[in-house]
Amino acid sequence: VTAGSIRLTSQRKVILGEDTTVAVDGSIFLVSTGAAAKSQATIGNGSNIQATDLTLSAPRTAQIGKKATVNLSGQLTIKSTGTSSDSNAIIAKGATVAVGGDAEMQAGNSSVLDKKTILTVTEDFHMQAGTPKKCKIKKGVTLAAGSLSGNCF
């Protein structure tokens, strides 16, 4: 898919499917507004995304999938807006994410940088979970940022 910007909103799952290639001159917004357990916003496993900004927002899981590649010239926002035990912000195993501006991961429960994730943020990386104990930066993560903030650091 090639476009100026993409905005997908749903009460339940909002997904850019597995192995999808998307190049956008502007922003990508994937927003789930529902209250159901399946209210999720996800970049699928193995996807290749290029955009200015990326926003994933859902009451439950907001996630960049396994082995996805995301290149942004602007901002990244991964936000799980709920407070339940499955309200998680995740960059999944083996994903590679490069952000030219600020990046924010925020969750009512857990914020997770999974194994073998590579995250490069030019400006501030803000990582926040329901409590600091719910912050998970797993083994093999490569994290480089201009500055770090949030209760995970």
pLDDT at 2: 65
Q: Assign residue 37 a region: left if phi > 0, alpha if psi is -120 to 50, beta otherwise?
A: alpha
Distance CA 153, CA 144 (A): 13
Distance CA 48, CA 121 (A): 18
Residue 1 predicted with pLDDT over 80: no
List beta partners, residue 3. 24
Distance CA 96, CA 92 (A): 9
Which residue is associated with the tokens 């960049």? Answer: 64
Residue 81 predicted with pLDDT over 90: yes
Cα–Cα–Cα angle for 17, 21, 23, nearest 5°? Answer: 125
Model confidence, pTM? 0.95
Q: What is the pLDDT of residues 10-29, one digit of tens each?
A: 999 999 989 999 999 999 99
Q: What is the mean pLDDT of the chain?
A: 95
Q: What is the pLDDT of residues 87-114, one digit of tens each?
A: 999 999 999 999 999 999 999 999 999 9
pLDDT at 152: 97
Per DSSP, the three-state class of 52 is coil
